[in-house]
Chain A
Amino acid sequence: MEQYYDLTPLLNLIHTWLCGWMPEWLALTLEGIVVGVFILIMYAVLAIILIYMERKVCAAFQCRIGPNRVGGKGGLLQVPADVIKILTKEIITLKNADRFLYNLAPFLVILASILTFSCLPWNKGGEILHMNIGIFFVLAASSIGVLGILLAGWSSNSKYTLIGAVRSGAMIISYELSIGICVLTMVVLSGTMDIQAIVANQADGWNLFKGHIIAIAAFIIYLIAGNAEANRGPFDLAEAEQELTAGYHTEYSGMHFGFFYLAEYLNLFITAGIATTLFLGGWMPLHISGLDGFNQVMDFIPGVVWFVGKTFAVVFLLMWIRWTFPRLRIDQVLTLEWKYLMPVSLVVLLLMTVCKVFGLVF
């Protein structure tokens, strides 16, 4: 049924058409440029949507209205206006900073974010980077981000940023373990590292349901660790505005700061997107066995809508957590990971492997 919305034939058609009147290398280059620009635009648009959503969601939690002036009743143009403002702001340079690393750091952060972003399976045939070790690539690419954060904190030559960077380094490196193990659990369940194949495997049921309680445990651990990876509350101690003013990006201004800000929001989306892919069936529609009419209706909703819808549901969940909990302390964060999450996730991995070997999963 999802065949209606499969993008592969259309993309192949375009490719063949282009190759018809230009050499293949040129066609590939052109396609690459178009896709690259498309990713960047998507990235910016999604960031604007997410920032707007965050403002409205947190306003709702905080008994406020949120943006409501710029651009009519809903304040829809508030975020675009902010984007224009930040684009025109001066980028200050620090006197005693390591100039090269200071300027490089935001780009590393945004690079990691965009690379990971490109791997998300938007639709059937709608992936941008496709490789048979896709999920492994996601883990590898997302690790570059912490390098940017460490460099930003170190090169600013400020005590506050340094403390923020060291906190962030300690935290992100720790939580990557849990994320890796949770992802591995799902790889064991699916039997593949290919992102599209993981999604395709969930045509007969989402991994969250296939893997019983083990998958649910992995999902919860993933959400906690993913929240930490995205540097968001209650794990936002790298920024900890009440302690370190703005943590590792205290000394950045203008669009350099904007890159950190963008990356933070997109990392939230990516975390949620990977959670959707691994646990919630990616772009697969919701099916309930026995209700054929219902299932058919669901099939008519395009995959991209399913994917974005599920992802935003997870994003909302993460926002809910952020706006409810106070911040953890660095030693508590590390205790949580090394004493609880990591051992539990190892047990989850072991159980999942046993279940898979003995065919105890659906």
Chain B
Amino acid sequence: MELIEKIKKTAPDATVSENGEPVVSVSAQELHQVAEALYADSEHPMDYLRDIVGMDWGETGLGALYLLESTRTGHRIILKTVTADREQAFLPTVSDLWKTALIKEREVFDFFGIRFLNHPDMRRIFLREDWKGYPLRKDYDMNSNPLNMENEVNADITDEYFLKPDGTIADKKNIVFDQKDFVVNIGPQHPSTHGVLRMRTSLDGENICKVDPILGYIHRGIEKLNESLTYPQTLALTDRLDYLSAHQNRHALCMCIEKAAGIEISERAQYIRTIMDELQRIDSHLLFYSCLVMDMGGLTPFFYGFREREMILDIFEETTGGRLIQNYNMIGGVQADIHPTFCTKVKEFIAHLRSVIKDYHDIFTGNVIARTRLQGVGILSREDAISLGCTGGTGRASGWANDVRKHHPYALYDKVDFKEITYTEGDSFARYMVRMDEIMESCHIIEQLIDNIPAGEYKVKTKPILKLPEGVFTSSVETSRGEFDVVLESHGDKTPYRLHYRSTGMPLVHAMDTVCRGQKIADLIAIGGTLDFVIPDIDR
């Protein structure tokens, strides 16, 4: 690969491991140079940092995987870097290149204790500030943090570490909130943060000066749990991430494991998975509509969305037995065949949805109050969207064509005809319209598939205990609210060594600060609604 040649030019020691996905290892000293070179590459500028995955390789040391992608050509590359010192683990920050690293590196620091040099804000993000130890390290003592009943006091001052010219590391203090700031806690118990999200918001009258998200109120340690579960068991937790993308999340993990184990699934299962994914997307976008409208104080349209969503849930229930969380995809296919009435019900539903969607637009889209509340509010530029990693509808509303279904097709998406909805305004209204248009586009996809589901097995036989070959495996899907990646490192056992999920919502929450500054409190709620994040997906 020529990109690897280019990396070798900057960092001659770089090695490539070919187990699973190609992973380019660079030393910690050279990481920033390599990142800069890749970012500024003339052919495949790697301007989109998909994710940073913290890693504990035991004896080898701590480190991270950097998943990069070029928005121009769609090229992807994985960088790996290690620091051997476990006590004083430092890595250079890449947050000056990709803003999304600001929050991703905090996650790595929180769980692995790797400090990032020159990162302006090295606070914990999920765990309490007085937490002892770093839980995703392999040597973490599970009993080191007994239940703490004290209130957590949030520091208004944060640390920044930097390298002094003589090679030693020093830190300085940065101010998050000044003493004079009027800081209002929005959340964790708040009607419209869509879950237990907490945003410390400093206000000037009604205007927003700064938003500082504090996460972790529903953190369940799913990634840590995964390390002690066998592969079929890990599936059970994916539906609990973004519960409005339950099918798609699980689809991604199944694809990743199938890819690693070399399992080919039947055509029928592919059809079922694709249809289910799209139904799930419609379900999620209908809920998006309902919640956005309710966030803006319109209670009647809320029920419109729920009325139609109920029909999808009924369809899900008949086939999968579950409504919100279905646990339907399995390694090698799906859990059960579709219900005999599935196809007719889906077709009826789509016909019904097409007939009522006009009501949605009549009551809300065309409403003068709704338009003035959304248009020109909360503008996210294309550059910011990419830099912050805001995938999904949010990115597409800013003009960034990032649909995984289009650019890295999986399942049957290369066989069906559909448009990738993009808007260029980047305001709340564009984000809203993207989702509304995608509902219709999903209907269009389902219509192409529903009549042609081939006969055959819905699931191929797999061994009850699966051992994956060594290596790093990834897969990505387009969930209802953006790109969802699974990063799996296997050491040849029946449990994953590390199984990481890219949160679709975390970059969106991180973008709140950029988008909301200078807007009103009421806009903060509306913008939160249009960004469409789901908290259990952020916290994992």
Contact = CB atoms under 8 A, between A and B. Distances in A.
B295 A325 contact: no
Given A326-B364, A330-B522, A242 B295 contact: yes
B191 A329 contact: no
Interface stretch (B124-132, B298-306, B320-328): B298-306
A264 interface: no
Contacts of A167: 206
A242 B369 contact: no
Given A160-B184, A242-B192, A330-B206, A323 B299 contact: yes
Contact of B182 (A159, A160, A237, A323): A159
A13 interface: no
Contact of B525 (A159, A160, A163, A242): A242
Contacts of B522: 237, 240, 243, 327, 329-330
Contacts of A244: 521
Which of under 10, 10 to 19, 20 to 34, or 35 or more describes the interface residues of A?
Answer: 20 to 34
B367 A326 contact: yes
Contacts of B361: none
B297 interface: yes
Contacts of B218: none
A330 B520 contact: yes
Nearest to A327: B297
B307 interface: yes
Contacts of B304: 63
A64 B304 CA distance: 10
A324 interface: yes
A342 to B, nearest CB: 19
Contact of B303 (A63, A160, A237): A63
B297 A240 contact: yes
Interface string A215-250: 000000000000000000110110011111100000
A234 B300 contact: no
A128 interface: no
Nearest to A170: B206
Interface string B490-528: 000000000000000000000000000000111111000
Contacts of A61: 300
A326 B293 contact: yes
Contact of A243 (B302, B364, B521): B521
Interface residues on chain B, size class: 20 to 34
A12 interface: no
A160 B189 CA distance: 13
Interface string A321-335: 001111111111000
Given A159-B184, A326-B367, A63 B307 contact: yes
Contacts of B184: 159-160, 163
B296 A327 contact: yes
A103 to B, nearest CB: 25
B190 interface: yes
A76 interface: no
A326 B297 contact: yes
Interface in B471-485: none
* B interface, over-half SS: helix
B154 to A, nearest CB: 16
B219 interface: no
Nearest to A241: B191
Nearest to B524: A243
Contacts of A332: 369, 372-373
Nearest to B297: A327
Contacts of A237: 522
A46 interface: no
A329 B307 contact: no
B190 A245 contact: yes
Contact of B297 (A58, A233, A330): A233
Contacts of A296: none
A233 B299 CA distance: 10
A329 B192 contact: no
Interface string B281-316: 000000000000111111110111001000000000
B370 interface: yes
Contacts of A58: 299-300
Interface in A45-97: 58, 61-64
Nearest to A324: B300
B363 interface: yes
B170 to A, nearest CB: 37
B520 A331 contact: yes
B182 A242 contact: no
Interface in A161-208: 163, 167
Contact of A234 (B206, B369, B524, B525): B369
A325 B298 contact: yes
Interface string A292-324: 000000000000000000000000000000011
A242 B300 contact: no
Given A63-B307, A240-B297, A240-B522, A328 B369 contact: yes
B218 to A, nearest CB: 20
Contacts of B363: 324
A54 to B, nearest CB: 12
Interface in B181-200: 182, 184, 190-192
Contacts of B300: 58, 61-62, 323-324
Nearest to A61: B300
Nearest to A233: B297
Interface string B452-485: 0000000000000000000000000000000000
Contacts of B524: 243
Contact of A329 (B190, B294, B299, B373): B373
A241 B363 CA distance: 21
Contacts of B369: 234, 325-328, 332
B367 A243 contact: no
Contact of A245 (B191, B293, B294, B298): B191
Contacts of A329: 373, 520, 522-523
B297 A242 contact: yes
B198 to A, nearest CB: 14
Contact of B206 (A163, A245, A326): A163
B155 to A, nearest CB: 20
Contacts of A330: 206, 520, 522
A64 B303 contact: yes
A-B pairs, 8 with minimum CB distance: A327-B297, A326-B298, A326-B296, A62-B303, A242-B192, A329-B522, A159-B184, A242-B295
Given A64-B303, A240-B297, A329-B520, 20 more contacts: A62-B303, A163-B184, A234-B369, A236-B297, A242-B191, A242-B192, A242-B294, A243-B192, A245-B191, A323-B299, A323-B300, A324-B298, A325-B298, A326-B367, A326-B369, A328-B369, A329-B373, A329-B522, A329-B523, A331-B520
28 contacts: A58-B299, A58-B300, A62-B299, A62-B302, A159-B182, A159-B184, A167-B206, A234-B369, A236-B297, A242-B295, A243-B521, A244-B521, A245-B191, A324-B298, A324-B300, A325-B367, A325-B369, A326-B293, A326-B364, A326-B367, A326-B369, A326-B370, A327-B297, A327-B522, A328-B369, A329-B373, A329-B520, A332-B369
Interface of B: 182, 184, 190-192, 206, 293-300, 302-304, 307, 363-364, 367, 369-370, 372-373, 520-525
